[in-house]
Every structure is written in structure tokens, then in C-alpha cells.
Structure 1
Amino acid sequence: MAGLLASGIIKWTANKLSSLVSPQIVSSSSDEQSASFRDLRDLQRTMARIQRTLDAMDEHNIRDEAERLRLWELQQFAYDAQDAIDEYRYELLRRRMEDQSNQRQSSRSRKRKRKGDKKEPEPSPIKVPVPDDLAARVRKILERFNEITKAWDDLRLDESDAPIREEAYDIKISTAPHVGDFDIVGREEDKENIIEILLSNEAAQANMSVVSIVGMGGLGKTTLAQMVYNDERISRYFQLKGWVDVSEDHFDVKAIARKIIMSFTRNPCDIEDMGNLQNMITAQVQDMKFFLVLDNVWNVKKEIWDALLSLLVGAQLGMILLTTRDETISKMIGTMPSYDLSFLTSEESWQLFKQMAFGFIDQHMDQQFEGFGRKIVGKCGGLPLAIKAIGSSLRGETNEETWKDVSESDQWGLPAEEDRVLPALKLSYDRMPVQLKRCFVFLSLLPKGYYFWKEDMINLWMCLGLLKQYCTGRHENIGRMYFDDLIQRAMIQRAESDEKLECFVTHDLIHDLAHFVSGGDFLRINTQYLHETIGNFRYLSLVVSSSDHTDVALNSVMIPGGIRILKVVNARDNRRCSSKLFSSSINVKIPTETWQNLKQLRALDFSHTALAQVPDSIGELKLLRYLSFFQTRIITIPESISDLYNLRVLDARTDSLRELPQGIKKLVNLRHLNLDLWSPLCMPCGIGGLKRLQTLPRFSIGSGGWHSNVAELHHLVNIHGELCITGLRRVINVDDAQTANLVSKNQLQILRLDWSDGVCPNNCSHPSSQNDVATPDPEHEEEIFESLWPHKNIEELEVVNYSGYKYPSWFGASTFMQLAKIILCQQSCKFLPPLGELPSLCILSMECMTGVEHVRQEFRGNITTKAFPALEELEFQEILKWVEWSQVGQDDFPSLRLLKIKDSHELRYLPQELSSSLTKLVIKDCSKLASLPAIPNLTTLVLKSKINEQILNDLHFPHLRSLKVLLSRSIEHLLLDNQNHPLLEVLVISVCPRLHSIMGLSSLGSLKFLKIHRCPYLQQPSDKPLSTQLQRLTITKCPLLADWLEVQISHQQCQLHESKDAWYEEQQALDELNDASEDEQREEFGLLYEDENGEDSDEQDHEQSEDEEIQYGSDDSSEEDE
């Protein structure tokens, strides 16, 4: 593989060199320089000649040691040659930048002297001499190559040789779903068996149970665990769920504890103290039923395992499901019999293979190749991963001879134990095009089980020149096709089921394959073993996985010269991809002298470390193309970065960064500038000169000559994806907004327009806008907004802090065919914009619309047919003057399923014509709203905070399945009956301090889930038994219900998941209430609500409990309320 990578380097470098050293430059130079140029051209020819040799040597899987040495020497030659050529290219670029700067200055000078001249003379071609030290290195490289060829008599280097398979590669991504979307074959019975074990009486009687899924790699243990984890029955039974990927290297209790907290809370955790970790976990699991998956457990000792279990004490019931290849681990730590996962049967294997190899191709293909296919399947031995990989590699292959070659390959005879690489996986790799192989090998730099992001990997490939050969189109698009091809070949898999999260992982056996084929140029090393020189490697990742090794100090002795990638990998906190962000305490220290050994770096990645300061020495890395400070603690980036003319990617997404260096405008090759969206940030003028920029998620406008101006966006025609323009109130001239020419940016998908002041952060070194607070000017802002017309391809639009009184003429035009989401926040307009004509609008949210009093015909627009034809989610929040919503057409909102109305205290009327498609309604703080319209198919209703009691007592929704009354200060009596709510399954009443009675509770015949929380004066309902359908009853902080709870638990026909411990909690609360003073009672039970401006004392507690409250019942009940 390393030979193929070097071959790609040669091809790319030779092509670049050909354009740099033309015969004209050679002939017009001095004798000495002509000799140097000729040497460069000789180097180009030599590199082209050896490319075929490297390809051939790698294709034949050379095992002879002498041949391997020969390959290694050629690789080093290729790397050194590319370094020399890239340094000359840098000199050429640096000289051009200097000349352009001089020409601009002289041009301005000439314009002052000769205003009549309309055309400047064309600049003369630039002749950049080859530096003496570089010329000497080129000659030395050529001499070394001549020595190699003399020593190798049998080395045949034909100048006409060229790669064959590389030219033939045609990316064909199937229209079938990616691997993760295929039905899982043969595991449904296994899933049912494990769920039966987890929910058995035997498991329920134990305080803590451990069940192991045991089997060899590639059998599908993790997939099976995911099936169990996502099953609705598990979500219903357990109040708390978590998933932790355990490192192969060692079982680190502290690291696993942090991952458990992050999985349970869905928040970052940077706690280092073990005592604090224990306290936090105990607080999470206390009196709870939790389900925890520990995936891929290796190398655990009994005493370490016991230390982990000690962190989970206090739970009502704990269930741990772990996956492992090691039967001895299962026997050592399992409390219940392990589940041995079997291989697929021959018919299951064939079914899976057909799905992977044929997809949606005509069925006659199955018959044509069935003989070869069944032979291949038989050699996979029932291993799902092997079947997926080899089947995917044959997708779309119509050559019968190819099928025969695969079925009869010698690879099947190799032992699977060799380097832990399965023959089927190696065969799948061998069938990859060489371009794909070059990209695949970089997965070996990541630890096993490490989650990575698609765009990050593609950008890395691009910066290493792996996306340029034999393909046309944008490099990033080519990279996405490569990436999708690897997914289709089962070499990469999604880390999460949510396809919106472009987060991925490789299976352990695939990772072994990547390591096996990576050769001697790639090294992934754990920092706890980093004590001396690491050897002659070109691609290096330093993995921090232990809680006890958080300092990464790299001295010049450890790091050899010639390294092309240096990546610090934080494997301690890498977790499920619910968020890209997690904190870090990993300290990285690189002494000044070490930077001298990093001058050949192409990629430098400090992501997720505690790096706080970047030295000026970084400007000496003139070949650098990829630089990441993602989630570090840097405040500034040194000005010396302006010398990195080759830089393509700068990832500065960190909330600590306060300003960008002024010299960033010199980075003419920059394609991706990633910035944090929300933290204050000063941007210098000149960003508009980065014409190759494709990623710029944020553009901050300031005042003064140093800061950026909106007009600079004019030249950024290649911007893709997302753009947030902040500080629009700083725009003085309307012409500048027109010059920005947003309508030309046809590749923008998300546009955010923010009229905030754009005040610089306190520690910005150019705080000219600090003392110049922009005052809102409604008419001026209306003109600016009118000029910011986006392209019709826009998909999401957000407008914030707009002080104009009307919206622009283009707003809501039906020409925006792809506009699917609109967010309006902090607006002063008196009327809502006409949005009913937008054909694709799915989500609409409006917040803090201070001028709106009525929502009428203007909202739906002049459309004569159905308004809002595609709208699914509609939210109104904090529209304080809003009185009524009327004039809704009978057929409007045909797709609406979710409506949220919050903090609209004056609202009195809702339209009676609300769509029959509406299934979920959320009302919060609408105290004057006395009734709800008839909504025939409503299944979920959430009423929160200030709610008119009349609404509750007049409810009649025959299809209602979930009702939640939350944080209501005014409700005293609640009337429910089965006649009005025959299908009600979920009832939650939480923090209602004045509620005294609930009538009709026992009549709810479909009730399955009942939770009553913090209703201190709620009297006992009828002693009649609750519904026989009831599955869970939770009563907390309701002291007057203690006796009633005991009666309900005593009813044998009602099998509850709560134990009698709940009664003791209520009895204890009652005793405390009797002993406390009146003020203490009111404070304890959340009765201090009289202050209208105060915050709810139980708000935080309530919100934290919401995720666990409705984990079963209707499909809608699992959705968040807030």
C-alpha cells in the first residue's frame, strides 16, 4: 500500500513540476540556473518512470525482504523528491505574492500620476531562481536514484509505463441504500433471546446484572447490541440508558467513568478527580433502573472491573450488556450466562451476500452468478462482516471472469490469524481502485472505535493530494464520492443511526486491515509509550487514551524529520456522536527546536486538546496545508500564519478564539476556514481576497479600517454550505450590501442574517467597535435587508435582531423552491411575512416578534390554494402583544403535525380551522387562552406554566394518547374521564403547587404510564384501582399520596415497575412537611411563585427529568417538549 501512496505522490508532483519548469524558463535563465531547472525536469522524468514500478511491486504483494527494501528506498525517494518540488513551488508562490503586492502599490502610484490611463500593462512572467540549497538537494536526490538503478540490475524503468487500473477507475455509487440501511439478516431471534434475558425475573431480582455477548470479530456483536439498545421494550423498562465504547488497549476506569457520564447526561465531562466522578455517576443512577452497554471489552482485570461496578452503586436496578471476543472475560465478570453468538447459516449468508452484491439489480443477475457467489459465500464461513465486504466489492461487476477469479483466489487459503486480517477483507481491499486504497490507508491513524467526521477526513485527503488524479470536478466532491464508495464497500460505517450526523467509525477488523496494508510509513502510538525516537515514519498520530497521561510533550529527539502528518488524537473523551463538542484537559507542548523537524508537515491537528498558545514558529511550516485548532483553548493565532501560502484548511472552531490575524488575507489557497458560530470574534478586512474559499460559516462585520466589510463577500463566489453574517447593524452604505451579491452564491444552503451590534470581545487587540455602539435605524435596516437577496437555492434562512418594520419584497417568494426552514428571532415588524406560498417550507419558528398583535391573511399570503403546503412544524414563542390568530383557510397547513405556542400572554383565540393532520400541540404561558379548537387527530398535548384551568376541564380529543401538565401555578382541579380520553396512555402531572384534586383518574382504561411529581397539596384520588393496562407508576414529592400509592401497589392485577421504595419516599416527605415551618414548606415544594419575574425553582429539575419521563407510550411521547 505504501508503494501505491508513493506512486500517487509521484504522479501528482510530476504533473505540478511540469507546469512550473517550462522549456522557456530553462532557456532564458543563466547557465547555473539553467542547470538547476534541467535537474528539476530530470527529476520529473525520473519520477514518472518509477511510478509504474511502485504500482507493480505493490500489486504483487511482495514478500521477499530484498524486494521490500527496494520498495522502501523508492518510497523515500518519492517523498524527498516531492518535498524538494513543493519547496520550489512555495518559493514561486511567495515571490508572486510579493510581486503582486508591489504591483498594487505601484499601480496606485501610477493612477495618481496618470488618471487618464484606463488599462494597466500586463505583468511580465515571473522567473523565480531555484535556491542554492534546494538545487543541491535536487542534484543529491538524482544522484541517489542513479545509485539505486545501478545496484538493481533487474529494475526495469520504462518511461512510457503508466498506471493501468488507475485510469480505468470509474466511481459508481449504487442507488441502493448504504450498508447500514440493509435489513440485518439472521439476528432477530438473537435479539429476542437477549431481551428476554434482560427483562427476566432473574435479572429483576438482582441489584446488578451483567450479560455478555461473546463471539469472534465480525460476527455482529455490536450490531446486535445496538438492536437491543434501540428496542422499544428496553426504553420502556429502563429509565436511564447509556452506551460506552471501551478501548482495546486497556480498561481505564476513569476514562470509562467519564464516558458513562457523557452518555447518561449527553453533556461533555472533563472531571479528573475520581471522587467527583463517583459522586456524579451516583447522582445519575440513584434509585433508577439503568441499562448500560459496554461495547468491545478487552483486557480487563477483576479488581479493575470491581472498581467500575463500585461507581454504579445506589441504583434500583442495574443491567450491563457487554460485547467481547474473550470468553474468559465473560466468565470472570458476568453474573448471568453469556450469550454465544453463532455464525450465519448458509442460507442467511447467501441472503446477505445477495443484498450486498446485487442490491436492486435485476434478479437474473442472481442466477447468472449464483454458482460463483455461493462458492464465495461458503468461504466466508458465515461471518457477516466478511460477507458484506466481499459482496460490496462485487456490486455492479458483470464480468463473469472476475467472479471466477475471486471465488478461486489464493487469498482464501491464507490463514486468517496472520496479522488478524481475514482473507475476505484482504480480497475486498485488493479489488479497490488504487485511488481508494490511498485514501483508505489513512484510517489506520485513528484508534479502534474512534468516531470521525466525514468532512474532516475528506479535507485531509484533499490536502495530501489524493483527490486530484484522473477525475474532473471539485476536489471535495470527488472526496465525498470516494468516502461513499468506502461506505458501500463496508469499509466505513455510520457511528450513529441519524443520517444527518456525518459521523463514522471503522470495524475493528477493518481497522486491522488498514493497519496491515499501511506499510512502514504510518505510525499510531499511544503517548504513554512515547519516550524516545519513534523511527522513520511519515504519517504519525499520537493517541491519548489514559486518564493518567494528559501531557503530550514532543521534543526534537522523539520526532524525526520528514513527517507529513502529525495528529494528536484525544481518545479519552471520544464518544457517541450526539455532539461534535467535548472538552479536554490534554496539554500539548512543542518546544521551539522541535518545529525545525516539522518543516515537511502537510497536516497538523491539535483538535480536542487544551492547546492555549501557538508559537510564531508555525509560520516556518511552509508546506502545511491542513491546520486544526478545533475545540482547543487558543485565544489568538500568530501573524506568522500569513506565510503559510499552501494552507488549504484552517479549522478554528473554538469559543476561546477572539480574533483572526490580519495577515490571513495572504492565504490565497485557503479553501476551508471553519469558525465557531456563536462566540465573539473580530475579523480583519481582506477576507474577500480569499477567492478560493468554500467554507466560511461566519462573517463578522465591524467598524473601522481594520475590520471586515460586508462588500468583501462579493468575490467569495465559491462559498458552500452555511454562512452566518453578524454585525449587519454596522453596515453604513446600502451599496456595500448590494455589492455583497448574495444572490450569486448558488451553493449556499444555510444563510443566517444577524443585525447584532458586532461588538468585539474584550481582549481583542483591535477593539475599534467597542466604544461605538450601533443604534438601530429601522428604515436603514429595511434597505440593507432588501439588498441581501439570497440565491433561490437556499434551504434554510434565519434572521435575528432585525429592527425594520417590514420585510423585503423577496421574502417568502415562491421562487425559493428549496427553502425548507425559516427562523425569525427578535423582530420589530408589525406583521408576519407572507410565507404561505413557499412550496417546501417544513419548519417555521418565530420568537420575540415584539410588534405583532394579529396574525391574519397577510401571513398566508396571496396564495389561492392551500397555504403552507409542506409545513410540518410551526412554533410561536414570546410574541407578547399577540391577541389573535385568524383567517386560516380550511385547507391550509395540510402537513402540519407539531404546533408550539409559548409565552404569548395576551393570546385569546386560535383558529378553528387548524389542520386535521396536527398530532402534537404544546401550549406554554398563554394564560388568557380559554379554549382550544377541535383537533380531531391530536395525540399529544403538553400544557405548561400559566394555563387557564378551563382548557383542561373542557378537553375533548378522542385520539389523545399523551397528556402532560407541567409547572402550572394556577390549576387547582383536574377533571379526566374515559369518555373524553378513551385512548390516553401517558399522563404526567409535574410541579403543580396548587393542584388539590384529580377526578376520574381510575376511569382511564388505556392508561399505561402515570407520573405525578411535586404536587404537595394533591389529595388522594379515589381508592379504585387504576387501569389494568398500567405499566409504570411514579409518584415523587407528593406527601399526601403516600397511602393512596400503597393501595395502588397492593392491587395484584396492576403489575408496576416501581417498588415499594416509592412509598417510603413519600412517607418521608410527609413527615418532613409536618415538621417544617410554613415558609420552609413553600420553598421545599416550589410554592414561591408569586413573583412574576422570578424563575421556577423546579425548572431545571423538571427539564432534566423530561427525557426519562416519556420513554414509552405513543410514538409522539418520546419527543422533547422544549
Structure 2
Amino acid sequence: MAAALVPSILDLIERVVTGAILEEVRLGGDSLNKLQRLRNNLLALNAILEDAEQKRRTDKDIELWIDRLTDAAYDLVDVLEEWIITTRVGKTSIVKAKVGSYITHCLHTAQVVRRDDLAFKLKEISDRLDVIANERNMFFLVSRSASQHSRRIESTALVDASAIIGRDEVKGDIVSSLLSASTEQLKTISVVGMGGVGKTAIAQLVYQDEVVKQHFDHRIWVRVSEVFDKKNVAKTIIKGVEHVKRFEGADSLDSFPLSALLDRIGGSIHGKKFFLVLDDVWADDMRQWKGLIQTFQLGAPGSRILLTTRMGTVANMMDSHVIHLEPLSDEQCWMVLSREAFSGRGVKQCGDLEDIGKRISNKCHGLPLAAKILGALLRFKSSRRKWEDILYSKIWELEVAHQEIFVPLLLSYYDLPLPLKECFNYCAVLPKDFVYNGETIIYHWMAQGYLGWDIIEDLELKGRKYISYLAARSFFQDFLMDKDGLKSTWKMHDIMHDFARFLMINNGIVIEVMNPGGNSMIDLSFRNARYLTARIAEGHCLSTSIYGAETLRSLMIISGENAVTNEVMQIIFNQAKRLRMVDFGCRNTLKDTIPKEIGNLIHLKHLNLSGNGIIKVLPGSLCKLHNLQYLNLDNCESLQNLPNEIGNLINLIYLGTLHCYRLGCYPKSARRLTNLRQLRGIVLRADRNDPKEFALGDLENLIHLRELSMVLKGNAVNDRELKRAKFENKTHLKEIKME
């Protein structure tokens, strides 16, 4: 997590020192020097953290060092954000204090005291980072460009066809496409899928097919490294075409310039029908491929290229026919696992273990690589009890998963830009069966600061780009598109979710609460947990014995009715003051209304209370949450009104009160929510400009709205109010709904 955090912190420091905040805060010289020192240390660390993140899997000392850096990084984000919040709130309070100089003086004094406290925290973190930065030299870490190297075992065209199950239909489709009569000079077929789904295996099957062998003059197999090197690709093609392993002089090909290698390829394939397999392609920039692609055009009509990739952008770049390789069925997965697990066993023993073996194979979720590895693990476990140990283990906790199943996924993960790693890691704390929604996950990422601190439109655009990037690299699947062609919902493969859990093992905790009465203790302190998701069984409730919640940044409760009491909320809100996201959005999760202690969560940006029919009113302290961006109250059927000072939540971009059937008109102060992008279910007066209730004309300054649904009160729409609303100025507004 540290590698992904550092760039965000650098952005935040820039905002504090040189952005709009500089106009509001006069940083003392000592604090300014500390921030500059922090910035220099972080820049130095940023250069080598990618190498450190890769080496931590095998070096415990590096892992402990990164954990300490991560702790310091999270603490630094808290202090910097709190500095900004304190300044903003202090300035607003002083502007509002019109009643006398004494109140203004008290507010100003409190602000100075608070800033002194933050300056002390800043010094403490700066000293910690000095030590951590100096220790980096102990580990011989290098910058990413110097540390890049191939991290995958070399693939070959050899394969045992009998060991590959469930791919006959796909193989037949590819072979038919390869052999189809065509006048095209060159045709490309791309097999796209997540790591471990069997892309290389299907390419090997096709490559070794006897009909394919007879059809082409040349067959060439090239494993393309994730670090793309045109010369290495060209040399491998030459060796494949010329059918020789050694050349005159050990380094004869190495001494050739690229242009000479391409000329040599062109001469060898000119007028010949060739079949080229490019296995595991990562490079999706056509400029890198240009010379090679032009050379391939010299082959005879009917020449074919088959490439395998986990990146849809590669297939698009090559303008190829795309075959998405799906996971195996449960039955096929069991066939793969049982072939390995039952090797050398007697018929009776196989029969005794078959039922539990099938349940274990379901943990593979259709990935042949996982089935093969778990099958090999089971082969050497003779008793049913040992098989049960595997069954009831979380796959991401198995050592074999770390060493083998997750290896191809780590390659995809290491290839991600740093901010996207953080976004992907976060998915570990969402439920395994979670149906992702582009809008919702972007709000989650924004709440955690993963998208940076730019203006809202830029953050949302960045979030959509991140989703597309992760989808193109097979981290997400099963997409549905909305009417605008944007990805509206999708899922994450269970093995990919297990992989995310593996990456977040030191930061995120997912627990299941099964105890009636909620009496068991929940201790988070030993993990420095920052993300907690609790799945609570029907009829049970969350324990009041919660310890170590101080570091939490995200809290999600998935439950039946009455699972969270007022007492539990008070305990959490008093402890977990660093929370950025709170989600109680299940049907009637809450047993009581929200306590006033929610006002302690000054960092809170995302609050989902939807579906909680017990809530009648919200505490006024909610309006102290000046950082809040997302407030979802949909389906709170008993909610009667919103706090009068709701307008203080000036950073809200989403406010939802759909199907709140007892809700009265919004307070007049809601007209100050000028950052709103989505306003769903607002109750307002349409017949007059009321001095206390929100009226239609009060939409006047909400110029950023993109989605608006309204419940209109009154017998008629007042023309003057309709004109005052200035809908013609709301150029971003795509949708209006009215009741």
C-alpha cells in the first residue's frame, strides 16, 4: 500500500503548500521546512518503492519496513487533511461570528491551538520518515526502470493435449479461423483472459494441431516478455523461421541492428504462409510494434498471427478477432483437479474422497491453473481430515496460492500504475459477491483519496478511466453497458478477489459475526486494520466489545435487521475518528437512529444509510462533517426531515432521499449545496418561495447538477419559481424526474 500512497501524499503536500490552501493558511517557517523535508524523503522513497513492493513477498525485513512506512504514510495523510479541515472550518466560523470580537478572538485562539497540535504531529511523523528513509539503503532497492525484468517462466509450444480439459470447442473455433480461405494478407486472432485461465494452453493446443502443421509453411512460437523488447522478439522469430538454434559466432544476432533483423525476417517469410504465436503480450502501444507489423505483411495471403493476452487493449491495437477465454465449468474444473489429486490412488479411496474433492474444486472458480495446483497439493494428502483442512482454508491463506496460483496475477498487478494498485486493493474489503457499479466504486475511491484531490469532474473522469484500465487487463469481468456505452455494472472473479485479499492481508479485515447478542470481542489492534467489513448473520448483532478501531478508514456492515445498536455506533464513532467511509446501507441494519457522536468523524466523505426504516431524524452534529461528499438516505421510509443546517455540507456531490415517503420539504439551507452533481428525491415547494422550506427556485445556484429527481409540494408550479430555478443554466443536467 505504501507505493500507492506516496504519490497521493505528494499531491496533498503540494495542495497544502502551493495551492488554494496557501491563501488561507500562513504556514510557520518550521512547519514549511518539515513539509519540504517530508516531500524530499517521499520523492526519494517513491523511486524505489515499486522494487520494494515486489521483493516484500520473499523478504520479511523489507515487508516490515514497508509496513512501518505505510503506517507513517497513513498518519501523514490524516494530519495534512486535518490541517486543511481545521483551516476551512476555522475560517468559516470566524466569518459567521458577527456578534462580537470576543467570540471571534476565542475561535481564532482555538484554531491556533489546534494548528499547534497538528504541527507537533507533523514533526513526529517527519522524524519517523527520516529514519525510514535512511533505512532504505539496507535493502539495495533500485528504481523501477532498473528493476524491471521478466518474472515468468519461459513458455514453449510443447503441451500434453490429453491434460487440457474443456477447451475443444474453443480450439475448434480458432483452428477454423486459421484455416479459413481468405485473401487477407494477414489476419490476427487474440485470446483474451485473466491470468491462470489457460490462454497459453489453448495456444499450445492449436500450435500442435496436425492440420495446422500441414497448412502453414512456417510456424513460429514467441513468448513476448512483459518488458517488451523488439530485438528479442525479432531474434526469436528468425530462429523459428530458419529452424536453427545456433548461428556462426555466439553473438551474431545480437550484433545486428533492428533494421537488419527485420530485413532478415522479411526475406525468410516473403511469399510464404506463416503462423506466428505471440504468447503473453503486454505492450499495447502500436508505435512499439510498427516495424514488426509492417514486416509481417510480407508473408503470403492466409498468414495468421495468434496472440494471447490478459489486456483487451492489446487485442484492440492489433485490430484482431477476439476470443474471450472464459473459466471452466464446475464439472470441467473437477476433472482437472481429480486427474492430479487421484493419480496413483485406488478406486475405493477415490470414491471416499470424491464428495469433498468436488467441494474443493469449487474453490477454483473455473481457473484450470488453480485446479491443477490444488490437485497436485491434494495428491500427497492421504487422509480425509487433511483434505478437509484444505476445504475449510481460505484460498488466499494457502502457501501454495502464494507460491503458484497468484504468480500470474502478480504479473498483472505489478504492471499496474501505482494509483490503480490502490484502487484494486480496496476491492478486497467489498463482499465477494459484490456487483460493482461504476458510480458507486468511484465514490468509494474518492472517499479514500485514491483519485487525488483535483476538481470533482477530473476525479470522476479519472475513476472511469481506472475502471476501463482494470477491465482491459481482466481484473473485472461480466460487464453490462448503459445507454451511453459506459460500463454500468460488473463483477470480480472470486480468485481475483482472493488475490486482492492476499495483497491486503495487513490492512483489511473481513469478519463474519455469528454470535447471538453480539457478546464476542472484536480486536483490530494487532493488525492496525484500516478497512473493516462485517457480515452479520440474521438475528445476530455487532459486538459492543470493539478494540483497536482507531486506525479504521472504512467500515461496511452487511447484515440482517437490527444488527447495529446505538451503543455500538457510539463506541465506533468515538474510537474510529479517521473513518472516510461508513456504509450501513442494508435493509434495516440499524436498530436505533444515528447518535450525535457521528460529528466526531471529521474526515468522513462517504455515508450510506439507505434502507434503514428506523431513522426518523438525523442529528444536527451530522452537519459538522464538512468533508462529506456522499450522503445516501434512499428508502429511509420513516425519515421526517433533514437537519436545518444541512447546507453546511458544502462539499456534498451526491444526496439521495428517494422513497423517503414521510420526508417533509428540505430545509432552506440546502440551497447552499452548490457542489451537488446528483440530487435524488429532493422534496421541495413548487407553489411559492417559502422562507423556511426549500423551494423550486432555490435550485438556482445548483449549476453542477447532472441528475435531478424531485417530489413537488403544492397545488401548482409557480411560474416565478420555475423561472428563478434557471434550468437553462444547468448545462450538465442530463435527467430530470418529477413526482
Task: Give the TM-score category using the shorter length.
Answer: 0.5 to 0.7
Q: Which residue of 2 aligns with 1:374?
A: 277
Q: Distance in 2 between matches of 1:22 and 1:443?
A: 32
Q: Distance in 2 between matches of 1:472 and 1:707?
A: 28
Q: Which residue of 2 aligns with 1:78?
A: 73
Pairwise CA distance, 1:473: 5.0
Query: How do 1:532-543 and structure 2 match up within 5 A?
Result: 532-534=522-524, 535-543=526-534
Q: Is the 8 A contact 2:620 2:645 kept in 1?
A: yes
Q: 1:552 is matched by which residue type in structure 2?
A: L
Map Cα deviations across residues 224-268 of structure 1 (whole Å, 9 max, x no partner). xxxxxxxxxxxxxxxxxxxxxxxxxxxxxxxxxxxxxxxxxxxxx
Distance 1:9 1:468, change over 3 A: closer
Q: Which residue of 2 aligns with 1:390?
A: 310
Map Cα deviations across residues 122-176 of structure 1 (whole Å, 9 max, x no partner). xx9x996653322222222222233334555547999xx99999xxxxxxxxxxx
Q: Is the 8 A contact 1:53 1:157 kept in 2?
A: yes
Q: Which residue of 1 aligns with 2:551?
A: 562
Secondary structure of the residue that 2:410 maps to in structure 1?
A: helix
Q: Which residue of 1 aligns with 2:576?
A: 598
Q: 2:279 is matched by which residue type in structure 1?
A: I
Match status 1:90 vs 2:85 = yes
Distance 1:627 1:101, change over 3 A: same
Secondary structure of the residue that 2:617 maps to in structure 1?
A: coil
Query: How do 1:896-915 and structure 2 match up within 5 A?
Result: none
Q: Distance in 2 between matches of 1:636 and 1:650?
A: 14
Q: Which residue of 1 aligns with 2:726?
A: 741
Q: Is the 8 A contact 1:637 1:661 kept in 2?
A: yes
Map Cα deviations across residues 655-700 of structure 1 (whole Å, 9 max, x no partner). 3222221111001111111221562422111222111110102322
Count of matched residue positions in the alignment of Structure 1 and Structure 2: 516
Q: Which residue of 2 aligns with 1:653?
A: 634
Q: 2:577 is matched by which residue type in structure 1?
A: K
Q: Which residue of 2 aligns with 1:607?
A: 585
Query: How do 1:161-240 and structure 2 match up within 5 A?
Result: none
Q: Distance in 2 between matches of 1:628 and 1:604?
A: 6
Q: Which residue of 1 aligns with 2:16?
A: 17
- Name stretches of at least 5 consecutive residues in structure 1 with no aligned partner: 107-123, 166-183, 191-215, 221-342, 352-356, 358-366, 380-386, 399-410, 571-583, 755-1122
Q: Which residue of 1 aligns with 2:356?
A: none
Pairwise CA distance, 1:614: 0.5
Distance 1:522 1:34, change over 3 A: same
Q: 1:693 is matched by which residue type in structure 2?
A: L
Q: Is the 8 A contact 2:427 2:500 kept in 1?
A: yes
Q: Distance in 2 between matches of 1:592 and 1:585?
A: 18
Secondary structure of the residue that 1:653 maps to in structure 2?
A: coil
One of 58, 61, 64 as aligned partner of 1:66: 61
Pairwise CA distance, 1:15: 2.3
Secondary structure of the residue that 1:588 maps to in structure 2?
A: coil
Q: Is the 8 A contact 2:280 2:308 kept in 1?
A: no
Amino-acid identity (%): 20
Q: Which residue of 1 aligns with 2:116?
A: 132
Secondary structure of the residue that 2:84 maps to in structure 1?
A: helix
Match status 1:636 vs 2:617 = yes
Distance 1:4 1:552, change over 3 A: same
Q: Which residue of 2 aligns with 1:663?
A: 645
Q: Distance in 1 between matches of 2:660 and 2:137?
A: 64
Q: Which residue of 1 aligns with 2:158?
A: none
Match status 1:486 vs 2:486 = no
Match status 1:696 vs 2:686 = no
Q: Distance in 2 between matches of 1:375 and 1:473?
A: 39
Secondary structure of the residue that 2:47 maps to in structure 1?
A: helix
Q: Distance in 1 between matches of 2:401 and 2:141?
A: 36
Map Cα deviations across residues 172-201 of structure 1 (whole Å, 9 max, x no partner). xxxxxxxxxxxx9865899xxxxxxxxxxx
Secondary structure of the residue that 2:728 maps to in structure 1?
A: helix
Distance 1:162 1:347, change over 3 A: closer
Distance 1:388 1:669, change over 3 A: farther
Q: Distance in 2 between matches of 1:490 and 1:185?
A: 19
Q: Is the 8 A contact 1:493 1:505 kept in 2?
A: yes
Secondary structure of the residue that 1:467 maps to in structure 2?
A: coil
Map Cα deviations across residues 688-728 of structure 1 (whole Å, 9 max, x no partner). 21111101023221474321011111111111134335226
Map Cα deviations across residues 747-772 of structure 1 (whole Å, 9 max, x no partner). 22221233xxxxxxxxxxxxxxxxxx
Q: Distance in 2 between matches of 1:693 and 1:675?
A: 14
Pairwise CA distance, 1:517: 2.5
Q: Which residue of 2 aligns with 1:753?
A: 738
One of 617, 637, 661 as aligned partner of 1:679: 661
One of 682, 691, 699 as aligned partner of 1:705: 691
Q: 2:654 is matched by which residue type in structure 1?
A: H
Q: 2:91 is matched by which residue type in structure 1?
A: R
Q: Which residue of 2 aligns with 1:975?
A: none
Q: 2:446 is matched by which residue type in structure 1?
A: M
Moved more, 537-546 or 76-85: 537-546
Q: Distance in 1 between matches of 2:603 and 2:202?
A: 50
Distance 1:186 1:93, change over 3 A: farther
Q: Which residue of 2 aligns with 1:720?
A: 706
Query: How do 1:107-122 and structure 2 match up within 5 A?
Result: none
Instruction: State the superposition RMSD in angstroms.
Output: 4.6
Q: Is the 8 A contact 1:667 1:690 kept in 2?
A: yes
Q: Is the 8 A contact 1:389 1:424 kept in 2?
A: no
Q: Distance in 1 between matches of 2:88 and 2:455?
A: 25
Distance 1:658 1:46, change over 3 A: farther
Moved more, 466-475 or 738-747: 466-475
Match status 1:512 vs 2:498 = yes
Q: Distance in 1 between matches of 2:693 and 2:569?
A: 33
Map Cα deviations across residues 265-316 of structure 1 (whole Å, 9 max, x no partner). xxxxxxxxxxxxxxxxxxxxxxxxxxxxxxxxxxxxxxxxxxxxxxxxxxxx
Q: Distance in 2 between matches of 1:156 and 1:81?
A: 26
Q: Distance in 1 between matches of 2:641 and 2:207?
A: 57
Pairwise CA distance, 1:446: 2.0
Secondary structure of the residue that 1:432 maps to in structure 2?
A: coil
Q: 1:454 is matched by which residue type in structure 2?
A: G
Q: Distance in 2 between matches of 1:751 and 1:471?
A: 24
Q: 1:651 is matched by which residue type in structure 2?
A: N
Comparing both chains, which one has the higher relative contact order based on Cα–Cα distances under 8 Å and sequence gaps of 6 or more? 2
Q: Is the 8 A contact 1:541 1:569 kept in 2?
A: no
Pairwise CA distance, 1:619: 0.5
Pairwise CA distance, 1:453: 2.4
Q: Based on CA coordinates, which of the two structures has the bigger radius of gyration?
A: 1
Q: Is the 8 A contact 1:649 1:671 kept in 2?
A: yes
Q: Distance in 2 between matches of 1:218 and 1:146?
A: 41
Distance 1:706 1:717, change over 3 A: same
Q: 1:661 is matched by which residue type in structure 2?
A: P
Pairwise CA distance, 1:102: 3.9
Pairwise CA distance, 1:617: 0.3
Match status 1:57 vs 2:52 = yes
Q: Distance in 2 between matches of 1:620 and 1:350?
A: 66
Q: Distance in 1 between matches of 2:692 and 2:702?
A: 19
